[in-house]
Amino acid sequence: MARPVVAIVGRPNVGKSTIFNRIIGDRLAIVEDKPGITRDRIYGTSEWNGKPFSIIDTGGIEIDGDDMILKSIRAQAELAIEEADVIVFMCDAKAGITQSDEEVGNLLYRSGKPVLLAVNKVDNLARMDHIYEFYNLGFGDPIGVSGSHGTGVGDLLDAITEHLPELPDDEYDEDVIRVALIGRPNVGKSSLVNAILGEERVIVSNVAGTTRDAIDTPFEKDGQRYVLIDTAGMRKRGKVYESTEKYSVMRAMKAIERADVVLVVINGEEGIIEQDKHVAGYAYEAGKATVFVVNKWDAVEKDDKTMHEFEKKIRDHFLFMTYAPIVFLSALTKQRLHKLLPVVQHAAEQHARRVATHLLNDVVSDAIAINPPPTDKGRRMRINYVTQVAVKPPTIVVFVNDPELMHFSYERYLENKIRAAFDFEGTPIRIFTRRKSDKED
């Protein structure tokens, strides 16, 4: 399901990233501590008053090729106008209105988008008086906030949710597999789309997706219906922010949210770069089934060890995505292309798979018998039972005597045992540890 998008815009050092982190909260902190997943974040998700939304920190987007600050700020404002449903215009109570604020304000005022004026660094009552001059920017009542103390953030979120639009529900049936192609520019996403559709010759139509600028292409193969969500070629030419890689990450996130299976397309000629880790990391965090597609494999000079060595590189770079299968192919020559859709279909099936509670408990009981939970300060964790509570991704709750005794390494051990028993290839598994209450006992 597509979420409305909120963008935080403003000149440097007004505290955009601090407010961004306050809004996304602790939900992503655990993921960020895991090796193999990038910590550099410009895009997050949150929910307030029962309304989910995505949020962009434009302060995390550097504009390459020109170090003029005003030009950079202007480009970020243009990006927000193009991508966002609601814009948070961030200013600094301490500094007052600056020329940069007026420049951004003029741009936003003409956009016609809902703009909420947030004045940061209102860290005490005396500073509250400083917000009144910001009425001069023409965006109505300024909302005083403090990124360092968290005050006023709830009022800002109330205002954001009041302005969020209702986006249409996804129009596809449950049995349609939605596939997003993501990856940095020039990895061959467009060529891969054309190769898949050209070979099948069963294009139904090109229809605009629920996410702006995405093109949804439905087709059918061997009785299975698919929709390709293509982010390729979506960057607007001539914009200042054209060259920034993080911008394409932000665009890819919209496609990831709507997908069942994410194809992380890597250029086989160039190998893996940091940008690939960005997009794959977001697919992981979103809980989507994932397949690594190494494209342009025809152009790689290789011997009998090349594929194995490339696969090892992928596993080393993406330590927490060992479940994701890897397909080597060439969109240009169609080499190995026939292997892709069966892998996609299998990943989608595992992503939606539900395992009976008694089978899960049998596997976990065997795992405990082989390797009991370690003790911590003389106390040992006792696992009472496990159950799967959701699919897409498969989500498993482990009920124990004390959740604090669940060590990360033992959780990983249980996941490996569950995967060995039930496959789950292509999909992440979410495992949560909960205390079993006395009532349940």
- List binding-site positions for GTP: 10-17, 57-61, 120-123, 183-190, 230-234, 295-298
Measured on CA atoms in the order 136, 139, 141, 142, is the torsion positive or negative? negative
Relative to beta strand 207-208, strand 215-221 is: antiparallel
Binding residue positions: 10-17, 57-61, 120-123, 183-190, 230-234, 295-298
Relative to beta strand 86-92, strand 115-120 is: parallel
3-state helix, strand and coil shares in percent for the chain, rounded to the nearest 5: 40, 20, 40
Question: DSSP character for 378?
Answer: T
Question: DSSP character for 249?
Answer: H
- Tell me the sheet residues that pair with 328: 294
> Contact, 93 vs 121, CB < 8 A?
yes
Give the separation between CA 145 and CA 101, rounded to whole angstroms.
17
Cα angle value 282/287/289 (rounded, 5°): 95
Question: DSSP character for 3?
Answer: -
Give me 75's structure tokens. 């480009």
3-state secondary structure at position 286: coil
Helices (H), 324-356: 340-351
Largest CA-CA distance found in the chain, in angstroms, rounded: 71
CB neighbours of residue 15 within 10 Å:
22
